[in-house]
Every structure is written in structure tokens, then in C-alpha cells.
């Protein structure tokens, strides 16, 4: 298979996909080694993961370079290659999780329950192209620390970083017995689901539906983290200039190629003109990272087809009466870029207000009442996250409660993206299954097993139990 370089537009990398029989062999090998990984306990696994963190540090330059080639962006690649804090965060969470292995009396006399947390043996993790390395490890590290073995199938669009991760894994053989990466497209993803005991999937709603069906067919649990169309609501009391600056950052972060980017904005009508003016002035200052990859806030579209989607959303909106106040075009330098595009005169007949754009678009619509703002913000098949700006945080939080989304940031866009230790479910089509945040992020990879032992001294077998069972006979 060939992979395109998003910065140059050239197909300059080739790789051999993992065959189904190779996948089966990898899964068999990990399955065999997993009991030993689980037996090492949280302390043992934490030590191995810390060794992995040190190995990442030794190979960091190569990892960054591979991510630069995969994504066409430098600053985010540097942050993605910084895996040690993720490892430390999950180890800290796992230590709390260990305390759930409790010993408790039960309601039956002399019967003691020891709860065992029994890990799923093999987890499959299927990931998208927008943050190749972060997404590959976000579910993987909690699953590993919970005692599972993991096979990761990253997107075929961004395969280069896998070479470096495999080199790093060779430095940590204990981990290589519990973690493997495979290369391939959706067909290999589907094959992976047929081999594992639990599937984590991050990607589009369309693929998520297929993954959920395949998991249901096999009767295995699935955690699905899918797309979004996140709204920002700017209430009457908000500072329009501050809200606009935050909106531009929230829409342009990772060039909009992030599930939690702001994709549509609703502003109290009295603030509308001032907000649009501030957003336009802020958007005009944002530059692309071409010709210097280390400068600029906007990187290229990683998936070429995404540039087409963004173009169609802009054209559809303009054909229905919208006006592009900034940007509005796809820039072609081999790779493809889009400058922040502030759109006015938009409404919900336009695709840009309803479908995931995954680009730096800021369609801005006025509203006359809070009820209207909430109705418009909730008029979406998605429910990932949302943001609210208000004069007073009480009013902001009241509107946040009415929004149909799993995480709402108040008085700054995208806070919910930065906090990982708090549970957030994905609402509506944005996700399904147990979420990856907070305690549940690790806890979902183990089942509660009850081991109940009779500890009494009676000669009769569990007399209390027998009495209860036979009552009424």
C-alpha cells in the first residue's frame, strides 16, 4: 500500500499490510503471553510501561520525524511524541483501580466475597489518522495497565510512525509480548474484530456502525469514540471579543481535524456584529504552516478527501446565501490547506451546520432567545462536546445543562478536551459504550468476578445459605 505525504501531496511511502494469517499469529502469540502480563500485577506492568516511556524518549526525534511525515505538522508531532505523561497519568489511575479488588462480607452469614478484576485477554484498538500516535496510545495504555494484551491497528493514511514504535518496542521485550501494531486498512480492522475480546474504536460514525455490528455479532464489548459537530453558544452577557478569540482557536486547533473542534457558532443577536468583527480580525491573523512547517497554526489536510469535504461544505453554504468573510478556498501547494473561514448568513439548511466538516470553518448564526440557542445547538445527530460563553458562570452552567453533549466547556472553548481524569460520555451518534476518560477508562477493561468463600465453622454445609435457598419449599 502507498501513503500520501500531506505536506507535499506525494505518495512517497510504501508498506506491506499485515496479512490475515499474520494477524492471527500475532493475536495467538499475545493471547498466550497475556496471563504472564496480567500476573505481573499493576506494579510490574507500571515498571515495564515506564521503561517503554524511557525508550520513547531515546527514539523521540525519529518518532517526531515520522509523525511530521504522516501529518504535515511539527508542533503537534512534538506533543504527540511526548507519551511519558500519558503513561504516568494511567499508572496513577490504575493504582486507584487496584483498590477495587476488595474483600467484603456478604449478606449471607460467614460468606466472604473477594472481588477479582478479571482483565479481558486481548483488546483490539482501531484508530484514525488525525492524531496517529496519541490515538494509538489513548486506549492502549489503560488497557495494558489493566492487564490486557493489545493489538493496535492505526489508520492506513498515517502508517509511518508504526515503524518507529516497533523499533521502540524492540527495546522493551516484556511489553512486546503484550503489545503489537499491525498495518492495513478497514479490511484488516474488520479482521481484528474477529480475533479480540474487546474492541476500542475511534473514527467516523459510518465505520463505527460497522464496528458495533461486528462486535455485536461476536458478543464482545465495544467502546466507540466517533465524530462531532460541536457548537459554541455565546450568551448576551459574554464578552464578544474574548469569546471570538476563543472560538477561532477552538475551530482552528489541529486545523479543525479534531473531533472536538468547534464546528458551528451561535451568538446572541445583540452581540453578533461585534463578535463577527472580532472573529474576522482574529482569523485573518492565523497563518498556514507553509512554506515553513515550524511556523503557522494551520497544517495541511492529512486526508486529501477531507479538503474535498470542506470545499463542498463551503460551496453548499455559499450557494444557499452564506458569505465567506475570510478564507473560503482550498490552497494547493502539493498538500492542501484551508485558512480559517468565517461564514455569515448561515442557517440549518446548509451542510456546514449539520455535517462534520473537520476543517477550520466558523459558521456564525445569531439567535434571539436562549431557548432558540439551545434548540439550534441540539439540532444535530452528534453530541460529543459543546462550549458556552456567558457573563456569569451560573447562567453559562444552566445553558450547559440543557445541551445534549457529553462534555461542556464554560467561558473557554475546549476545556473538556484538556482534562482527562473526569468521565465524559459521548452522546447521540458521537459514541457508544464505556468512555475512555476517568476511572472508567481503565475499569472497562476488567470484569468483576465474585469469589465467595464460606468461612464459618458449622459442620453442616453453609446452613444459613441452605435455610435461605429452601425457604418456601
Q: Which residues bind ligand NAD (CB under 6 A)?
A: 126-130, 135, 153, 155-156, 185-186, 189-190, 202-204, 207, 210-211, 225-228, 259, 356, 384, 431
| Contacts of 12-16 spanning 24+ positions with Cβ under 8 A | 13/69, 13/159, 13/160, 15/159, 15/183, 16/183
Report in angstroms the alpha-carbon separations of 55 from 152, 176, 276.
19, 13, 48
| Shortest Å distance, C-beta 204 to ligand NAD | 3
In the set 259, 338, 355, 356, the catalytic residue is 259
Shortest Å distance, C-beta 22 to ligand NAD: 16
Three-class SS state of 337:
strand
CB of 192 to ligand NAD, least distance (A): 7
How far apart are the C-alpha atoms of 383 and 370, rounded to whole Å?
Answer: 19
Parallel/antiparallel/unpaired status of strands 361-367 and 341-344: parallel
Cell numbers placing 131 = 492524531
Q: Least Å distance between CB 395 and ligand NAD?
A: 28
Q: For residues 169 and 48, what is the distance between their CA atoms, to the nearest angstrom?
A: 11
Grid cell, residue 300, equals 495541511
C-alpha cell read off for 148: 490486557
Least distance to ligand NAD from the beta carbon of 226, Å?
5
State which residue, 360 or 396, has the beta carbon closest to ligand NAD.
360
Query: 419 to each of 48, 202, 245, 407, 423, how far by Cα in Å?
Result: 25, 18, 21, 10, 10
CA distance 253 to 363: 16
What Rg, from alpha-carbon coordinates, does the chain have? 25
User: What 3-state class would DSSP assign to 182?
Assistant: coil
Least Cβ distance, residue 404 to ligand NAD (angstroms): 16
Neighbouring CB atoms inside 10 A of 88's CB total 15
Residue 269 per-residue DSSP state:
G
Dist. CA 231–CA 383, nearest whole Å: 9
Closer residue to ligand NAD in complex, CB, 195/341: 195
Based on CB atoms, which residue is closest to ligand NAD, 210 or 375? 210
Minimal distance, residue 83 CB to ligand NAD, in Å: 17
Examine the residue annotation and report whether 225 is marked as an active-site residue of this protein: yes
Contact between residue 384 and residue 430 where contact means Cβ atoms under 8 Å apart: yes
User: Are the beta carbons of 233 and 386 closer than 8 angstroms?
Assistant: yes
The closest residue (CB) to ligand NAD is 189
DSSP 343-359: EES--TTSHHHHS---S
259 is annotated as an active-site residue: yes
Whole-angstrom Cα distance, residue 273 to residue 275? 5
Q: What is the largest CA-CA distance in the chain?
A: 86
Q: Which SS3 state, helix, strand or coil, does residue 4 take? A: strand
**Catalytic residue of the set 80, 90, 174, 225:** 225
Output 182 or 243, the one with its CB closest to ligand NAD. 182
Phi then psi for residue 44, to 5 deg, are -65, -40
Backbone angles phi, psi at 428, to 5 degrees: 50, -135
CA dist., res. 159 & res. 146, Å (int): 27
Name the minimum Å distance from CB 257 to ligand NAD. 8
Shortest distance, position 51 Cβ to ligand NAD, whole Å? 28
Which residues, at least 6 apart from 52, have a Cβ–Cβ distance to it below 8 Å? 83, 87, 168, 169, 172, 175
Which is closer to ligand NAD, CB of 80 or CB of 225?
225
**The three grid cell numbers given for residue 7, joined into one nine-digit string:** 505536506
Active site residues: 225, 259
Amino acid at each position: 500500500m502507498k501513503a500520501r505525504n500531506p505536506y507535499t501531496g506525494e505518495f512517497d511511502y510504501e508498506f506491506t499490510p499485515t496479512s490475515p494469517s499474520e494477524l492471527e499469529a500475532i493475536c495467538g502469540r499475545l493471547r498466550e503471553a497475556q496471563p504472564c502480563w496480567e500476573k505481573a500485577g499493576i506494579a510490574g506492568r507500571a515498571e515495564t510501561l515506564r521503561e517503554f516511556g524511557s525508550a520513547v524518549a531515546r527514539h523521540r526525534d525519529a518518532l517526531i520525524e515520522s509523525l511530521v511525515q504522516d501529518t504535515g505538522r511539527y508542533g503537534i508531532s512534538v506533543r504527540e511524541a511526548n507519551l511519558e505523561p500519558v503513561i504516568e497519568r494511567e499508572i496513577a489511575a490504575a493504582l486507584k483501580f487496584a483498590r477495587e479488588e476488595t474483600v467484603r462480607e456478604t449478606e449471607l452469614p460467614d460468606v466472604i466475597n473477594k472481588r477479582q478484576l478479571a482483565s479481558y485477554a486481548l483488546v483490539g484498538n482501531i484508530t484514525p489518522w488525525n492524531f496517529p500516535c496519541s490515538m494509538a496510545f489513548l486506549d492502549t495504555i489503560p488497557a495494558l495497565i489493566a492487564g490486557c494484551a493489545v493489538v493496535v491497528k492505526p489508520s492506513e493514511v498515517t502508517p509511518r510512525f508504526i515503524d518507529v514504535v516497533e523499533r521502540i518496542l524492540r527495546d522493551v521485550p516484556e511489553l512486546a509480548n503484550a503489545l503489537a501494531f499491525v498495518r492495513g486498512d478497514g479490511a484488516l480492522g474488520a479482521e481484528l474484530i474477529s480475533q479480540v475480546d474487546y474492541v476500542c474504536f475511534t473514527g467516523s460514525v459510518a465505520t463505527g456502525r460497522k464496528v458495533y455490528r461486528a462486535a455485536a455479532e461476536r458478543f464482545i464489548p465495544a467502546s466507540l469514540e466517533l465524530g462531532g459537530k460541536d457548537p459554541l453558544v455565546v450568551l448576551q452577557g459574554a464578552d464578544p471579543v474574548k469569546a471570538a478569540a476563543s472560538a477561532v482557536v477552538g475551530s482552528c486547533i489541529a486545523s479543525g481535524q479534531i473531533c472536538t473542534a468547534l464546528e458551528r457558532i451561535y451568538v446572541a443577536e445583540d452581540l453578533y456584529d461585534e463578535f463577527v468583527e472580532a472573529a474576522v480580525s482574529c482569523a485573518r491573523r492565523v497563518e498556514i504552516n507553509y512554506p515553513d512547517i515550524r511556523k503557522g497554526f494551520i497544517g495541511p489536510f492529512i486526508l486529501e478527501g477531507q479538503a474535498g469535504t470542506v470545499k463542498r461544505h463551503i460551496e453548499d453554504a455559499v450557494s444557499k446565501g452564506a458569505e465567506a468573510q475570510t478564507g473560503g478556498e482550498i490552497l494547493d501547494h502539493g498538500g492542501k490547506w484551508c485558512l480559517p473561514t468565517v461564514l455569515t448568513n448561515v442557517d440549518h439548511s446548509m451542510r456546514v451546520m449539520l455535517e462534520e466538516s473537520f476543517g477550520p470553518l466558523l459558521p456564525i448564526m445569531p439567535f434571539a432567545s436562549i431557548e432558540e440557542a439551545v434548540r439550534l445547538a441540539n439540532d444535530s445527530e452528534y453530541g460529543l462536546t459543546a462550549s458556552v460563553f456567558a457573563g456569569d458562570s451560573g447562567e453559562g452552567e444552566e445553558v450547559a445543562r440543557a445541551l445534549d453533549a457529553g462534555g461542556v466547556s464554560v467561558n473557554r472553548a475546549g476545556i473538556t478536551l484538556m482534562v482527562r481524569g473526569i468521565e465524559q460520555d459521548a452522546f447521540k451518534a458521537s459514541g457508544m459504550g464505556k468512555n475512555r476518560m476517568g476511572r472508567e477508562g481503565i475499569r472497562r477493561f476488567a470484569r468483576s468476578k465474585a469469589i465467595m468463600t464460606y468461612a464459618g465453622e458449622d459442620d453442616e454445609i453453609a446452613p444459613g445459605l441452605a435455610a435461605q435457598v429452601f425457604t418456601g419449599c
